[in-house]
Structure 1
C-alpha cells in the first residue's frame, strides 16, 4: 500500500479539527485492576492521587521505579468495580510485571485486556453532536471523564481524552465489535481518517506517547505535566523521594516543549539542535502542521533555552520554543 499523500493527510486533519473524524487506534495497552484493594495498591506506585478518583472520572499518572524514573505514562479510569490503565501499545507486559511483583496479600487482580478490547479515536467540533445521536447516555464533557453506554445495541465505553486541542473521545468496545462500531459511526456522517492526521493533532496538543516521547530514562518532571499527572501532597509511593527532591530543588535539566520551524523540511525524530556546538534540544515527535504551514515538533529542550519564544538559528531557518499545547495555530 502506498503512503498517503500530504493533501489526503491535510484533508483528514481538517476533519479531525472542524468536523468529525474517526481513527482506528487498534489495541492500545489496557490493564484492568479489580479487587477491593485496587485503589490503595495503585496509589503506592504512581504519581497522581488515585484515592480521590470516583467512578466516571480519571487522571493522568506516571508509574515510576525506586529511582523515580518513568516506567509508564498512563490514563487511569475509575469504574465502580475496577480501575483501567490505558497507554501506548506494547506496554502491557512491562507494566503488569512491574505491578504484579508487589502484590503480596492485597486483594488486587491485574488483567491485560489489550487484545480483548479495541479503541477508536473520534475527534472534531462536530464529534459530540454526531456521537450523541447514537448513544443512550450523554457524551462526557470534561477531559478523562468517561461513561458506559450503548452504541445502538453494542456496549461501549466513551472516554474524553487529551489527544487533541479539539473535542476528542476514545471509544472502547470488545474486539469482535470493532467493525460494527466503525460501520455505525460512518453511517452517521463521521469520516474515517488517516492515523497520520491524528498524529498531527496529538503533537499540537502536546500529548506524549511512551517510548516515542518518554522512556525509562526520564524523570516525570521532565515531561512537564505536573499539573495533570503529579500530586505533591498525596503521600508516599515508589520513587516519591526523588520526585519530591526535584520539586524542592525547583527544576530539572530539560523539559518537553514544542518547537516550530521556519524551514519547510520536517526534522527527523531523534535529531538534535545545537547552539555554539552544544546540544540544546532533541526531537521526539515531528510533523508538518497544515494550520501553521510549517513543521512542528515535541522536543526535550535544555534548561536555560526552554522559555517560550526562544529561537535557535539553524543551518536552514530557525526553531522557536513554544509552550504546550501549541496555540494560535
Structure 2
C-alpha cells in the first residue's frame, strides 16, 4: 500500500441483500450476468458486475453482486430513478427490491435494503491517471470485517461497517489494513468521482439511468453473459447484440485546451471538430473530473456512433471569465476493461 491513501466517507450506497433458499433462481432471472457462478464457500470470494434489467431490457439497476451464506449482496451507487408516474423518484435499492418482490411468487426469496444500516468508506490508492484495466470484484472477510475490491477505482477497497459505530471506523479500517491511522488522508466525494472517472466506471443515476440499454454502457465483457439462459429483458439485449453496434455509447474523453478556472458541466454538448456552431451535437457530458493547471482533465458521457471510437475528437465550448466563449477538445480514450478473475 502507498505511504498514504485517501479515506473517503461516501453517502449511503444502495446495498440490497437478497436472502432465501430460492435467491439464486430469482436473481438469475433478473440479471444480465451469470450469478450462478458465484459462491460463498471461500473467505476470499469473487463477485460479478451486472445489470438488473426490466422487461424492455432497460437498466433498472447496475450493481456488483456477491454470494453470501444465505443469498446475495448487491452493491451499487445510491442512484435515483423516476417512478412510473414520473412525478416522484426512488433510490436504486428501492427499485431493485420492488422489482425482485414483483417477480417472486411462491419462491423463498426476500430483498432486504441495508442502505441506512451500513456506513460506506472507500480507501483509494494511486493517482487519477486514466486506467487501462480495473480489478475484478472480490469480497474478503477477515477479523469479522467484510471488505470489497471493486472496479469503481483503479486500486482501492470498500468497507461497509455498522453505521452506529461510525466514529470508530477510521481506526478500525487502519487496523484492518495494517497501517497507521495518519497514513489515511481524508478525502471527499469529489475525490472519489475523480478516481472513478479515471477507472471509467459509470455511476448509476448520473452516467446511467433506467432509460439506457446495457450495451450503451460499453461494459459487455464485465456485465453480460450471452450464454446464461433466460432472464427478464434478455430478448432485447440478445437482439441488440445480434444486430451489432448501438447508436450511442458511454465513453471517456480526455479534455484539453480549457482556460484556467473553466470547468465543463454535466449535460454540456459536444460537436464534431469542424462543425458549425449550430450543428447537431454528437456528444453529451455526464460527469467531469478535475481540470489541472494545463487545462486538461477527464470527462465521461455519451458519443454518437460516428464519434465513439477511441481517438475521435469532439469540440466543446464554455464561457470563460474575461475571455468570452472558448473552445476545448474532447478526445475519446480507449475503453477500460476488467482484469480476468484470479
Normalised by the size of structure 1, how large is the TM-score? 0.83
In 2, Cα distance between equivalents of 1:291 and 1:46: 43
Distance 1:312 1:271, change over 3 A: same
Equivalent residue, structure 1, for 2:332: 321
Alignment match, 2:72: 83
**Deviations for 1:207-231, whole angstroms, at most 9, x for unmatched residues?**
1111100011100000000000011
In 2, the alpha carbon distance for the partners of 1:256 and 1:283 equals: 9
Aligned equivalent of 2:119? 118
CA 1:125–1:274: 2 relative to 1, 3 Å? closer
When the two structures are superposed, what TM-score results if normalisation uses the length of structure 2? 0.80
Alpha carbons 1:19, 1:125 under 8 Å: kept: no
Is 2:308 the partner of 1:311? Answer: no
Distance of 2:231 and 2:294 partners within structure 1: 42
3-state DSSP of counterpart to 1:227: helix
Contact 1:204 1:325 in 2 (8 A): no
Find the residue that maps to 1:106 and give its secondary structure: coil
Greater strand proportion: 2
Alignment-derived partner of residue 274 in structure 1: 271
Deviation, structure 1 residue 295: 2.5
Work out which of the residue numbers 207, 232, 248 in structure 2 matches 1:213: 207
Which of 2, 13, 17 aligns to 1:28? It is: 13
State whether residues 144 and 160 of structure 1, in contact with CA within 8 Å, keep that contact through their aligned partners in structure 2: yes
1:300 is matched with which residue: 296, 299, 302?
302
Q: Distance in 1 between matches of 2:53 and 2:294?
A: 36
TM superposition shift of 1:83: 0.4
Alignment of 1:1-329 (within 5 A): 19-55=4-40, 56-89=45-78, 90-125=91-126, 143-150=136-143, 155-165=144-154, 167-184=155-172, 185=174, 187=181, 189-264=183-258, 265-275=262-272, 276=275, 277-290=279-292, 294-315=296-317, 316-325=327-336
Take 2:51 and 2:141, find their aligned partners in 1: how far apart are those partners? Answer: 25
Residues 287-319 of structure 1: per-residue CA shift (max 9 Å, x gap): 225498612110110002111111124451321
Distance 1:237-1:52 versus aligned 2 partners, 3 A rule? same
Is this contact kept in 1: 2:117–2:163, CA < 8 A? yes
Q: Tell me if the contact between 2:256 and 2:295 (Cα under 8 Å) persists in the aligned partners.
A: no
CA RMSD of aligned residues (A): 2.2
Aligned in 2, Cα 1:311/1:86: closer, same or farther, shift over 3 Å? same
Stretch of structure 1 that moved more, 284-293 or 97-106:
284-293
Change (3 A) 1:64 1:301: same
Deviating beyond 6 angstroms after TM superposition, the runs of 4 or more aligned structure 1 residues are none
Aligned length: 292
Unaligned runs of 5+ in 1: 1-15, 127-140
Shift in Å, 1:143: 2.6
| Distance across 2 between alignment mates of 1:215 and 1:124 | 29
Distance 1:17 1:62, change over 3 A: farther
* CA displacement, residues 77-113 of structure 1 (integer Å, 9 cap, x when unaligned): 1122220111112322211111111111111021111
| C-alpha separation in 1, matches of 2:251 and 2:161 | 34
Cα distance in 1, alignment partners of residues 8 and 266 from structure 2: 23
Do the aligned partners of residues 200 and 105 (structure 1) sit closer, same or farther apart at CA in structure 2, a change above 3 Å counting? same
Deviations 1:128-180 (A, max 9, x none): xxxxxxxxxxxxx9631112222xxxx42100011212x21101111112221
